[in-house]
Chains A and B, each alone.
Chain A
Amino acid sequence: MHEPTTAIFGLDPLWLSCLILIVTYAIIISERLNRAIIALTGAGLMIMCGLLNQEMAVRGIDFNTIALLTGMMIIVAITRKCGVFQYVAIRAAKSVKANPAGVLLMLQIITAVFSALLDNVTTVLLIVPVTLVICDELKIKPYPVLVAEIFASNVGGTATLIGDPPNILIGSATGLSFNEFLFNLAPIAFVIHIVYLGIFHLIWGRKMRASAENRSRVMAMDEKKAITDIRLLKQSMGVLALVILGFVMAHPLHLEPGTIAMSGAAILMLLDNFTRSAEEQSEHVHHTFGEVEWITIFFFVGLFIVVAGVEHAGLLNLLAQKMLALTGGDLTATVLAILWASAILSAIVDNIPFVATMIPLIENMAPAFGGPEGLKPLWWALALGACLGGNGTLIGASANLTVAGLAERGGVRIRFLPFMKLAFPLMLISIVLSTAYVMWRYL
């Protein structure tokens, strides 16, 4: 099992695995083929070429991440049906008397909070449609609100273990707990979010106007009508609260996030189904499983295997040594290099393959920094860079593309260049703040 496998035709495993990795990533970046297909094909090649056997490949998959993602996706797929997100958004808009600047502010806060607890893409999928309805009623341009929501979702997602896939990956690989993410990342995410609230108010919020008549239309909305199923609402809120409590208490309970999320999902499916007939249940459960983002899940599965292939061939160890030589083994230089490099790279390429590759690479640096404990500043730098960097361009994070896609269908165009001109500098501000934070707190 642990013996080195022999690559086909006696090729050098290091070069062969490196080639497969590069080709896989190049095709992922080119976006010519669906990313799940390409990652699975890359994984298949790693095994076929003899760089891994099936057992090693399976061991390379981080099933804690897979279970956590799948579990949360199932919970969200059921919860979203009850209309709670619309309810909260309308409630928030009414709490500021439907004043546009206030609506902008409230929607950013809601997006950030939901993104911290749920997947970013899900959050924007739920918040953008109701945002478009509110803007339509107020007769204001939705563009500023949508851009602000993109930022809020990426910043909010940075704050917790479960907020953004890079954090899930890092947490699962390192064993850092929900609470550690909260203590180390939430403070800086909070500061960055406040700064963004200020910036968006200055450039857009204070100039937005809506007539009293249009505002009264929003005030006349009945948020209670948005709730389609009050029983389901109570059940899903109960389960969501239990799951988050589980994350917080994970350590004393000896539980891992994957178990908590999947158990929560099973309980919610049980509550949602047990009064139905067998046939209805089977249709319902099938539908719920169908709503899981399988493309993302299989993308992760394939990617884990590809990375396990290069890792096994020793490539990542080699790269880690090279990087250490470059930074002279200096912790500060390494941390800052990781922070800025991941921010810039995440703005232009998908951050998930990047983070998946960086994790074993950083783990290989442990000896240089006095064991796993010494790596912590590197993990926080990686998380901050990868999550916040996604704000830099329209293709930087899946949430950005999702907002753009929904907005386009609603008749609002978000273009690549105009977005980048504004977003890239704003992203850099957040990285500067992160740099200051990391320097002050860890170095």
Chain B
Amino acid sequence: MHPESHEAMSVLFGMNPMWVSSLVLIATYAAIMSEKVNRAIVSLLGAGIMILLGVLNQEMAIRGVDFNTIALLTGMMIIVSVTRKCGVFQYVAIWSAKQVKANPAGIMLMLQIVTAVFSAMLDNVTTVLLIVPVTMVICEELKIRPYPILVAEIFASNIGGTATLIGDPPNIIIGSATGLTFNDFVMNLTPVVIVIQIVTVAIFHVLWGRKLSASQENRERVMKFNEKEAITDWRLLKQSLAVIFFVILGFILARQLHLEPGTVAMSGAAVLMLLANLGRDAETQSHEVHHTFTEVEWITIFFFVGLFMVVSGVEHAGVLKMLAEYLVAATGGDLAVTAIAILWASAILSAIIDNIPFVATMIPLIKNMAPTFGGPEGLLPLWWSLSLGACLGGNGTLIGASANLTVAGLAERAGTSFRFVTYMKIAFPIMLVSIAISTVYVWWRYL
């Protein structure tokens, strides 16, 4: 289409592309952090400015977008938005509460496990969106404070999300950019995640769980819940679970089947929409499909699209290569120092700022370090450090991850308020514990 696309672009007014692109990047990130304007708008504007200033042309900008990530996110969001309607999440939560005889400490434990498992398979925000309302109902019937359980769920969702390729956006971007498979993520991250989850469960039990108590009468009430009534559509339930099963199987077998995660997720989404709409008339279908697409988190999707373009602008201008060289020089080209620096820096930074722009910038930067550490293979410890730091760091403050803010928002509406400092006093030390465990793990296994 554009033969000239591979040649260097001439920036407006002959300015230095390195400075212009860095300026756009910094302004975009500053605007995202200030939260004055919606992040999707900011990142799209940043991308637009990169193109208007001539740092990129449209074709280069589009090539900078990681469509595997976009397809994977969109596909999973569609699958979840169809699945959630059938009530399976409520079913599982109530069933697990009844398994422990509605004993509050047991419920806290079970809900953490349920949240962690769902978060590993689905998006964290979706998981908490589904688990928090039913948690509030259960707590209200038991007449216990929901706050401890909600905090434990925040941790479980961020920890669970760390375990798999699809659990948390940083992992999706890392997997997509490096070609690391679903199985690679499971083999390398799941073991340490299980350890961290067990430690966290224990901490919350000592801190809160053992002190929670509910009267026999209130526990009776929860035991009388009929979880089967939570299922609103049995046919849809079977269809969704079957599709999710095949999608996960697809992720596991991706390499053998020569398929990429984006294709697997989008195909799963198409098949599920097909099953859910079969037998309906044209108008109902069009209404339902439109509604399903509307439920995709477009703000997140466009945020990613814009961000990828902004990052590809600075990358193209050579800024990231230069930064990578500085970083390597600062750590003296030592792998252990670099891995641990990345782990701790991303944990602390992710606790205070959005981890997605951070990870999106770090990826090309780390890739530029490949020559120092003996090619792409040598970078593996760095990828796992980045993922652990970025995902687990989100637990540190209320604004560290979108799931935290979602829980706080839902709880607020139902009358339980979350305070920034109160939360941080408990959460930040626990987060540091998880990073200490990760350091030991990375050290022992890779360095």
Residues of A within 8 A of B (CB): 31-34, 36-38, 40-41, 43-44, 47-48, 50, 53-54, 57-58, 63-64, 67, 175, 254-256, 258-259, 262-263, 265-267, 269-270, 273-274, 278, 281-282, 284-286, 289-290, 292-295, 298, 302
Residue interface mask B246-290, A partner, CB < 8 A = 1: 000000000000111011001101110110011000100110011
| A291: nearest chain-B partner, CB-CB | B294
**Residue from the list B40, B61, B274 in contact with A37, Cβ < 8 A:** B274
Chain B residues whose C-beta falls within 8 Å of the C-beta of A270 in the assembled complex: 37, 41, 45
Q: How far is the CA of A54 from the CA of B266 in the complex (A)?
A: 11
Chain A residues whose C-beta falls within 8 Å of the C-beta of B45 in the assembled complex: 263, 266-267, 270
Report the contact-size class of chain B (Cβ under 8 Å from the partner).
35 or more
A294 touches B277 (CB 8 A): no
11 sample A-B contacts, Cβ–Cβ < 8 Å, listed by A number: A34-B285, A44-B267, A57-B263, A259-B61, A262-B44, A266-B45, A267-B45, A278-B38, A285-B299, A286-B298, A286-B299
Chain A residues whose C-beta falls within 8 Å of the C-beta of B286 in the assembled complex: 34, 295
B266 touches A40 (CB 8 A): yes
Chain A residues whose C-beta falls within 8 Å of the C-beta of B277 in the assembled complex: 33-34, 37
**Residue from the list A34, A53, A58, A266 in contact with B41, Cβ < 8 A:** A266
A53, A58, A67 interface centre (most CB from chain B within 10 Å): A58
A119 → chain B closest CB, angstroms? 16
A139 → chain B closest CB, angstroms? 31
**Residue from the list A43, A47, A63, A266 in contact with B62, Cβ < 8 A:** A63
Q: How far is the CA of A73 from the CA of B37 in the complex (A)?
A: 21
Question: Is B293's beta carbon under 8 Å from chain A?
Answer: yes
Q: How far is the CA of A278 from the CA of B262 in the complex (A)?
A: 31
Chain A residues whose C-beta falls within 8 Å of the C-beta of B62 in the assembled complex: 63
Question: Is B35's beta carbon under 8 Å from chain A?
Answer: yes
From B47-55, B133-141, B196-204, B371-379, the one touching the partner chain is B47-55
B340 → chain A closest CB, angstroms? 35
Chain A residues whose C-beta falls within 8 Å of the C-beta of B338 in the assembled complex: none
B298 touches A33 (CB 8 A): no
Question: Is B68's beta carbon under 8 Å from chain A?
Answer: yes
A31 touches B58 (CB 8 A): no
Question: Is B421's beta carbon under 8 Å from chain A?
Answer: no
Query: Interface majority SS on B: helix, strand, loop or mixed?
Result: helix
Chain B residues whose C-beta falls within 8 Å of the C-beta of A67 in the assembled complex: 58
Question: Is B302's beta carbon under 8 Å from chain A?
Answer: yes
**Residue from the list B37, B260, B273 in contact with A274, Cβ < 8 A:** B37
**Residue from the list B52, B294, B298 in contact with A255, Cβ < 8 A:** B52
Q: How far is the CA of A289 from the CA of B77 in the complex (A)?
A: 15
Extra contacts besides A36-B293, A40-B269, A285-B41 (18): CB < 8 Å: A34-B277, A41-B267, A41-B274, A44-B266, A48-B267, A67-B58, A175-B2, A255-B51, A255-B52, A266-B41, A270-B41, A273-B37, A273-B38, A273-B41, A278-B36, A286-B299, A294-B294, A302-B270
A54 touches B262 (CB 8 A): yes
B299 touches A282 (CB 8 A): yes
| A297: nearest chain-B partner, CB-CB | B293
Q: How far is the CA of A294 from the CA of B287 in the complex (A)?
A: 11
Q: How far is the CA of A292 from the CA of B62 in the complex (A)?
A: 20
Q: A44-B267, A273-B41 are in contact. Are A33 and B294 (CB under 8 A)?
A: no
B285 touches A33 (CB 8 A): yes
Question: Is B329's beta carbon under 8 Å from chain A?
Answer: no
Chain B residues whose C-beta falls within 8 Å of the C-beta of A34 in the assembled complex: 273, 277, 282, 285-286, 289
A266 touches B270 (CB 8 A): no
Q: A63-B62, A285-B41, A286-B298 are in contact. Are A48 and B259 (CB under 8 A)?
A: yes
Query: Interface majority SS on A: helix, strand, loop or mixed?
Result: helix
Chain B residues whose C-beta falls within 8 Å of the C-beta of A54 in the assembled complex: 68, 71, 259-260, 262-263
| A45: nearest chain-B partner, CB-CB | B267
| B262: nearest chain-A partner, CB-CB | A54
Q: How far is the CA of A316 from the CA of B54 in the complex (A)?
A: 36
Question: Is B414's beta carbon under 8 Å from chain A?
Answer: no
Q: How far is the CA of A116 from the CA of B2 in the complex (A)?
A: 27
Q: How far is the CA of A50 from the CA of B259 in the complex (A)?
A: 9
Chain B residues whose C-beta falls within 8 Å of the C-beta of A53 in the assembled complex: 258, 260
**Residue from the list A50, A265, A267, A295 in contact with B258, Cβ < 8 A:** A50
| A256: nearest chain-B partner, CB-CB | B58
B44 touches A266 (CB 8 A): yes
A254 touches B259 (CB 8 A): no
Q: How far is the CA of A34 from the CA of B285 in the complex (A)?
A: 6
Chain B residues whose C-beta falls within 8 Å of the C-beta of A31 in the assembled complex: 282
B285 touches A266 (CB 8 A): no
Question: Is B57's beta carbon under 8 Å from chain A?
Answer: yes
**Residue from the list A37, A50, A289, A293 in contact with B270, Cβ < 8 A:** A37
B289 touches A289 (CB 8 A): no
B294 touches A269 (CB 8 A): no
Chain A residues whose C-beta falls within 8 Å of the C-beta of B441 in the assembled complex: none
Chain B residues whose C-beta falls within 8 Å of the C-beta of A290 in the assembled complex: 294, 298
Q: How far is the CA of A292 from the CA of B298 in the complex (A)?
A: 10
A285 touches B40 (CB 8 A): yes
Q: A47-B263, A48-B267, A175-B1 are in contact. Are A295 and B293 (CB under 8 A)?
A: yes
Chain B residues whose C-beta falls within 8 Å of the C-beta of A254 in the assembled complex: 54, 57
Q: How far is the CA of A302 from the CA of B51 in the complex (A)?
A: 27
B290 touches A294 (CB 8 A): yes
B259 touches A47 (CB 8 A): yes
Chain A residues whose C-beta falls within 8 Å of the C-beta of B267 in the assembled complex: 40-41, 44, 47-48
